Amino acid sequence: MELKDKVAVVTGGASGLGEAVVREFVAAGASVAIFDRDKTHGAALAQELGGRVNFHRVDVTEEASVTAALEAAAEPVGLHICVNCAGVANPGKILDRQGNALPLSDYEAVIRINLIGTFNVMSKAAAWMSRNDKIDGEERGVIINTSSGAAYEGQIGQCAYASSKNGVIGLNLPAARELQRHGIRVNAIAPGLFLTPMAQSLGDEVVEAISQTIESPRRLGRPDEFAHCCRFIVENAYLNGETVRLDAATRLTAK
């Protein structure tokens, strides 16, 4: 599917990897709806990029919020692409230093945003895509979900995050199989360590130390490289039901 003249939704699109996807898609000729809770950065990005970008303040865990935003984004020409980047890391050990168990609410909060939020937007976006005419007689829509290298090698303190991102991988194949009759492809990207605003806030020395743990190239990934991978997935109609590890061959250690 070509991006030109298509309509895309990007959750978490106000910053980081999501912002890079928004910029990539707009440059390729798509119209993009940014779904994010950060009104300040989201609205500023939409204003910067012009008339083909709109911002919608959305909580991906709330059905009414997502339903209303999708209706506004998809009318009147429909929805073709959905990229789910919204997520949180929120580290927390199963037992703290005093032997106290992690509050269930802390675990649940990560699962609710990263996994349930992804499914919430994915399912409702798929309903809109199913109404499209098929492009080249094959597809009506493309969904890209964001997993993580932690889904494979979760580190200490990442039980909630790793299990939520492993759940995103688990969505891929059954969703791709189910939605094929509607002409909708479903894939995921499992990024490694990327130079997002969160990573930059750690400081140059910490970023350099992290970079030395990466295989090749020995640097943090650039958000535009993630965005380029999203574009490749959209444009390659034969890629379906897969998780792409975008991590410079890096495998995470225990800590």
Residue 167, CA distances (Å) to 81, 91, 104, 138, 171 in order? 21, 17, 18, 28, 6
Residue with structure tokens 């083909």? 52
| Type of residue numbered 60 | V
Q: Is 57 helix (H, G, I), strand (E, B) or coil?
A: strand
Whether residue 217 has a cis bond before it, omega within 30° of 0: yes
Q: Which of 107, 152, 161, 238 is catalytic?
A: 161
Residue 120, CA distances (Å) to 63, 96, 144, 236 in order? 7, 32, 13, 25
Q: Is 238 a catalytic residue?
A: no
**Annotated catalytic sites, by residue?**
161
